[in-house]
A and B are shown apart, each in its own frame.
Chain A
Amino acid sequence: MPAFNEEGSVAEVVREVNLRVPGATCLVVDDGSTDSTYARALDAGALVARLPYNLGVGGAMRVGFRYALENGFDAVVQIDSDGQHDPAGVPALLAVLDDADLVLGARFAGEGEYHVRGPRRWAMSVLAVVLSRTSRSRLTDTTSGFRASGPRAIAVFAKHYPAEYLGDTIEALVIASRAGLVIRQVPVSMRVRSAGKPSHNPFKSAAYLARAGMALGFAFVRPSSTYRIGSTQ
């Protein structure tokens, strides 16, 4: 669970995860927060890895995958610490993980209420088409940060999870496809963030699109040997 300045919601999400998914290890990666995220997460009973400075979601995720790899976990579920993902959806993701390496919790696939409009919506549909083709499976919500990874995906992501801010969710899918992983999606419901505010600034959206597009482009043209499972690069 990557967390950057989420003191208002992280404790609640941790408690909810422990309640909904008993037996799971809840690792919060504090991405160089300047508020009390670290203390709140610890108090709520999570393991907390603390990055010395902010690396972006990608860096935080990489820490999580590496932790899973080194401690022999066979499934990793990424969940946002702002409370927009409902931990009750975790078992549904894990169920599909049996015959897939990467399972996305998709927000538009019918369940719950989640709407975006304008250029962002168009971009998300374009991304969905491109990535569905690449991964040879129907994906509708490619920017979802609610996803489960199996052992093969963990091995790839611990090494190659993209560090580029914002592009990470999309680029991770391309990396996974190119490494030959099986990707599936499961409908999940989204909630309104329990703290913090969503970014609806048009300039930020435009920057997001541009960076997402670039990340996507470069992920495709990178040498394919980069992503081979077990490659030492």
Chain B
Amino acid sequence: MSTPLASYIFGIVSAALVLVVVIEMLRRRRLRERHAIWWLIAGILALVAGIFPATLGWAATLVGIEVPINLVFFVGIAILFLVCLQNASELTILETKTRVLAERVALLDLELRGMSTDDDNSARAADQNEPS
């Protein structure tokens, strides 16, 4: 397979850049491992395919895809899809957690006010909880 040098280098540099950014974010704890995993996989695949274009052709024939670039598109979309799904799932979990916290807060608030009205010096606490 003959690849013009410029695009060959471009592919490798792009893939390496993705990996560097992801690893750097992981290192600085800006990204958790379980969120980074798909990006790491994507970066590594891109790097392998960039350095050894033959592997791409080989993998494409293996799954019966005639034009190797279509495999790149397919894998790319699949990874993006999985990342989106994972994000939606994480969002659901977070929503559930904040909801439970909100419920808890409402009950604690109620309990707290009950306690302070039991006290004789209730005026103080009641005033603080007055709605805006």
Asked whether A and B interact, the reply is yes
Determine if B25 is an interface residue (Cβ-Cβ < 8 Å).
Answer: no
A52 within 8 A of B: yes
Mark contacts of A12-54 with chain B using CB atoms, 8 A cut-off: 1 yes-contact digit, 0 otherwise: 0000000000000000010000001011000000011111110
Bound together, the chains give a CA A52 to CA B103 distance in angstroms of: 8
Residues of B within 8 A of A105 (CB): none
Could you tell me if B110 and A59 are in contact, using CB atoms closer than 8 angstroms? Answer: no
Q: Cα distance A59–B110 when bound, in Å?
A: 16
Q: Is B106 an interface residue (CB 8 A)?
A: yes
Tell whether, in the assembled complex, residue A55 and residue B102 are in contact, meaning their CB atoms are under 8 Å apart.
Answer: yes
- The dominant DSSP class at the B interface is helix
A residues in contact with B130, CB < 8 Å = 39
Give the interface size bracket for A toward B.
10 to 19
| CB under 8 Å from chain B, chain A span 132-154 | none
- B109-132 vs A, Cβ < 8 Å mask (1 yes, 0 no): 110001000000000000000110
CB-CB nearest in chain A for B109: A50
**Measured between C-beta atoms, what is the minimum distance from B129 to chain A in Å?**
9
Q: How many residues of B contact A (CB 8 A)?
A: 12
Is A184 among interface residues, defined by CB-CB distance under 8 A?
no
Please report the C-alpha to C-alpha distance between residue A207 and residue B105 in the assembled complex, in whole angstroms: 31
Closest to A27 in B: B110
Q: Which residues of A contact B102 (CB under 8 A)?
A: 51-53, 55, 59
Given contacts A29-B106, A50-B131, 9 further A-B contacts (CB under 8 A): A39-B131, A49-B107, A49-B110, A50-B110, A52-B106, A55-B103, A63-B106, A67-B107, A67-B110
10 contacts between A and B (CB under 8 A): A39-B130, A47-B110, A50-B106, A50-B109, A51-B106, A52-B105, A55-B99, A59-B99, A66-B107, A163-B96
B contacts, CB < 8 Å to A = 96, 99, 102-103, 105-107, 109-110, 114, 130-131
